[in-house]
Structures are given as C-alpha cells and as structure tokens.
Amino acid sequence: MQYVLIWTAVAFGIGIALGQPIGHGLPVWGWLVCAGGCLAASALLHRWSISRRTALCLAVLCLGVLRIACEQPCPDWLSLRIPSLQAVRGTVVSYPSIGRSHTVFTLRPDTFSRAIRVTWFRDGVEPNTVHYGDRICVVGSAKLPEPFEGFDYPGYLARQGIFATMTVDERGLDVTESRDTSFLHRGDRIRQTLFERLHHRLQPDESAMARSLLFGDRTALPEPIEEAFSRSGLMHLLAVSGLHLGIFLGGAWWILRKLGLRPRIAYPVVGVLVLLALWIVGPRISLVRAALLFAFLGAGSVLADVGLILRRSIRPLNGLAAAAICILALRPGALCDAGFQLTFAATASILMVFSMPFEWRRRIDQYTARLGRWRIPVRYALTLVTAACAAQAGAAPVIAWHFETIHPVALVANLLVVPLAGLALWCGFGALLFSGTALFPYAITPFSAVLRGVKTIVTGLSRIPLVELEVSRWVGLWLGAMVVFVFAVAAYDRVSSSWTSNSTSIAVGSSGPRSGARRPP
C-alpha cells in the first residue's frame, strides 16, 4: 500500500505500450468491459491480497490500452493532400522557438484535426512577431516528415499530434488577429521580451546560451556549442527541468523559511512561483514533470503541517508516479519520447537513493555531523556527488538506447559544471529581475562572465579523448538491467540488515527483564 501509485503508473505505462500495436484491434467498449471486469473482481475480494492487487493492476493496464486506443490515426486523405497544400489559416498553439534567422512553432489549422510544424525564415523581420494564440495565415511549401540519421522523426511528431511540416519565407506569414487577452499569450510576450533584452546586452553566443539555460530554447544555439554539450553529456543543462526548478525553488524556500513562514504558507507561495515559471517558460515535459512532483509533495506537506496526515506518509516516489500518470493521461505518446524517459528515469534514481531503504541523506548527515565547521561544505559536496551518480545511473541506459552513445566522463563533467550552472542560473534570475530597470547593465555583467566560464569548461571537456563512445542500442538494455540489479541488491542488503538489527535488539530487550527477575535483591 505504501507505493500503490508506483504500481499504478507502471501498469498504466505497460497498457499504453501494449496499446500501440494492439489497441485498435479491440473496440473501445471491449477495453471498457475488460477494465470494468477487473475492477469488479478486485471489489469482490474482501482482503488486500495478491489476487486483488493483480486485478487492480490489470484494470489499470486495460485503461492504458483504452487511452491509446482512443487516439485516432492520421487519415490517409489528409496525408495525400499535403504535397498540394500551400496556404493555411490557423492558430499558434505553442510557444515559438526563436533562432537567429528563423522561428519554429506549431500551427493548428482551422480545417484539419492535426497540427503542422511551421518553420518561418524571417530574413530581417522582427523575431517577436508571432506569439501563442495568434491567428495567422501562412503561405509556403508543406511536406510529410521523413526519418533522418536513424531517428523516427515522423513518429516523434505524430506523438505530439503533428502530421506535417511547412517552410515559410519572410513574406509568407500574416498575423490576422492577436489574442492579447489570452493568459498564455501574455506569458509568451514576456518571454520574448526577455529574449530581446538578453540579445541586446549579451554577445550572440552568450545570448543563445542564456536562452537555453533559462528558458530551454536551443534554437539559436550555434551548432559547435550544442555539439560540445552533447559530447560531454551535459545536454540536460540546456533543457529546463527539475534541476533548474530545484535551484530556483531551493533559494526561494530558504528565504521564506528564514522569514519564519510555516510550510502551510511557504508551500503555496512557492507554488505561485512554480506557476509563474510554467507561464513564462512554457509547458515543457521536463518542467511540467517537476511542477507536478512539487505540487503533490507540497500538498502532502501542507496537509501534514495542519495535522490531517502523518509526515512520514509523504513518499516522493508516489508523487513522481502521480506526475507520470497525469502526463501520460494527457499525452500517451510521450511514453516513447527520449525526453520523457530521461527526465523520469533520472529523477526516479535520485529519489530512490535518498528515500527508503537507502536514505543516503541521513547517512551523509550522520557522517558530516562530527566534522565541525567543515560540516556544511562537505555535506553539500557529498550530496552533489550522490545525486549526480544516481542521475547518471538512471539516464545512461536511456541515452545508450536512443542515441547509441555513452559518456564515460559525464559524472566528472557534471560535478564540474553543475555548480557553475547553478551560479549562472542565479545570476540569470537576478539579471532578468532587473531587466526593465537602469540596473540591468550592471546585473547582466556577472551573468555574462559565468556564461563564458561554462562555455570554456564545456568546450574543453568535449575535446577530451573518448568523452563520447558509440555503442549498440542493446547496450542500453544491458545497462538498465545492471542498474536494476544493483538497486535490488542494495535494497535487499539494507532491508535484511535492518531486519537482523531489529531482531537482535528485540531479543536482547526481551531477555533482559527475565534475567533481572531472577537476580536476588
């Protein structure tokens, strides 16, 4: 019962995976009947036995198949119409990614049920022309996406509801209506305004790195810099994720707790900051996952603070599983995306290491308690090393499977660059906070210096021999099996040691009074 949400998420994911090849073989009502039958069987079992758990897992699995079966494939007539498609009217339904000479966004046509990925080559036109929610008309050339370099690009777009791509020149786009009253439209406007201010105050390479680090938009990043991050295994720094949100919220939490606010007040305030980050950065999978995880953990902490539940009943892994269920329910195709798998695998590994039965945070606190004034820096260093090792253990199998590479020095690279990236994030937050004032030129200077340091270190690491090795994708399965085996052995050893210790203490405690009772006065 402690980790019921984890089993629910696993069963739901397996159902979605099975539903892709077989989901449309059985009608929707058939899967509903199967799920209802499993739920009825679990209800008839009065005890929480293995049979009842199995019935519930089968019911959730059927719901996963049902969810993917409800996704309708792209009709053949729509695919046949693409080569002759030239003019499209529709609504922008994504935050545009802004490059140096082009802008990429998702367009939902008025006459189609599927979206189009539009690449607009501006050629001197102002980049902040298109925003989320705008009604536009585009004229260009459309085509069906094709695989490249072994990457299933059509499948990747199809899982996002996109069936075609379209290229448009600078004269082929016309904004017919701007939705200024839309909530996400205003968030996108703020985001693009901050882009423009960074562009005017930083060098082009630094501005592109700032966008990537703070907003996750790598469209303007030069190819050599992006390749350096990829080769050194540090690409996760350029995708706004739980690391970025954790650094931001960690500082905010520290300030709020220093002000003496109780968790029941501090968590809602931090929750507002999370929503603010989602509003400006955009609903990226990695950021949504981190926000949902915080929402579940924050809700549990508030309920514990007001006395409705026990604090020890809050389990971060259950919160992560609930976040996965929410994302897969809204977009089941995300299960096959590398980004979804990477963010959840790395986060799950970190949470497992710091949760029961490993509890590395408690071990680190016990070890550093006797170090005196060195306690805080040593605790920080050990926590960073432990989190980095856990993240690499979770991410390495996924990287090997999808990208057929491994990074032998990724752990060392993360230990060197992640603290500097954290400093860059805080400098960037400070610069953006003063971006509309006269202090902006002074606030941007330290940010620029740290960005140059990150670029120098990453470029140097990417030139190390054997920093990236090509492997067969089956190495990913081998690495995944090895990681699971190591976690299982460590958990078994930890649990068995704890059980032996408890049994010994009980035996000693029970024998003491009896021997004492026989001792003469």
In terms of domains, do 386 and 464 share one? yes
In terms of domains, do 29 and 169 share one? no
Locus of tokens 């707790």: 257
Of 179, 206, 240, the domain-final residue: 179
142, HSE (Cβ side, Cα atoms, 13 Å):
23
Answer yes or no: is 396 within a domain.
Answer: yes
In terms of domains, do 339 and 239 share one? yes
Answer yes or no: is 499 within a domain.
Answer: no
In terms of domains, do 46 and 94 share one? no
Confidence tier at 155 by pLDDT (50, 70, 90): confident
pLDDT value at residue 109: 92
- Region 507-513: mean pLDDT is 51
pLDDT value at residue 514: 47
The answer on pLDDT for 517 being more than 60 is no
Write out pLDDT tens, residues 476-498: 889 889 988 888 887 776 666 65
* Residue in 366, 268, 287, 359 with CA at minimum distance from that of residue 316: 359
Q: Whole-model pTM?
A: 0.83
Write out pLDDT tens, residues 232-265: 888 888 887 777 778 877 778 788 878 887 877 8
In terms of domains, do 64 and 157 share one? no
- Please give the Cα distance from 68 to 331 (Å, whole number): 9
In sign, the C-alpha dihedral spanning 464, 466, 472, 476 is negative
In terms of domains, do 244 and 374 share one? yes
CATH of the domain at 91: 2.40.50.140
Q: What angle do CA 362, 480, 218 make, to 5 degrees?
A: 85
pLDDT value at residue 507: 52
In terms of domains, do 274 and 152 share one? no
Answer yes or no: is 507 within a domain.
Answer: no
In terms of domains, do 61 and 98 share one? no
In terms of domains, do 52 and 83 share one? no
The answer on pLDDT for 348 being more than 60 is yes
Chain centroid to CA 231: 21
Answer yes or no: is 213 within a domain.
Answer: no
In terms of domains, do 372 and 285 share one? yes
In terms of domains, do 315 and 464 share one? yes
* Beta partners for residue 89, in sequence order: 137
For the chain, the average pLDDT equals 82
Write out pLDDT tens, residues 195-239: 999 998 999 899 999 999 899 888 989 999 999 998 888 888 888
Write out pLDDT tens, residues 295-347: 887 777 777 776 666 666 677 888 888 888 888 888 888 888 888 888 888 88
In terms of domains, do 424 and 383 share one? yes
The answer on pLDDT for 147 being more than 90 is no
* In contact, 205 and 228? CB cutoff 8 Å: no
For the chain, the domain total comes to 3
Q: What is the full DSSP assignment across 105-140?
A: EEEEESS-SSEEEEEEE-TTS-STT--TT-EEEEES
- Please give the Cα distance from 402 to 6 (Å, whole number): 24
Confidence tier at 103 by pLDDT (50, 70, 90): very high
Answer yes or no: is 309 within a domain.
Answer: yes
Answer yes or no: is 517 within a domain.
Answer: no
Of 121, 154, 179, the domain-final residue: 179
- Region 71-92: mean pLDDT is 82
The answer on pLDDT for 499 being more than 80 is no
Answer yes or no: is 131 within a domain.
Answer: yes
Chain centroid to CA 6: 17
Confidence tier at 122 by pLDDT (50, 70, 90): confident
Of 69, 89, 108, the domain-final residue: 69
The amino acid that residue 198 corresponds to is L
Alpha helix segments (H runs only) across 282-409: 285-305, 316-330, 338-354, 360-368, 375-403
pLDDT value at residue 452: 93
- Region 111-124: mean pLDDT is 87
Domain range holding 403? 223-485
Answer yes or no: is 497 within a domain.
Answer: no
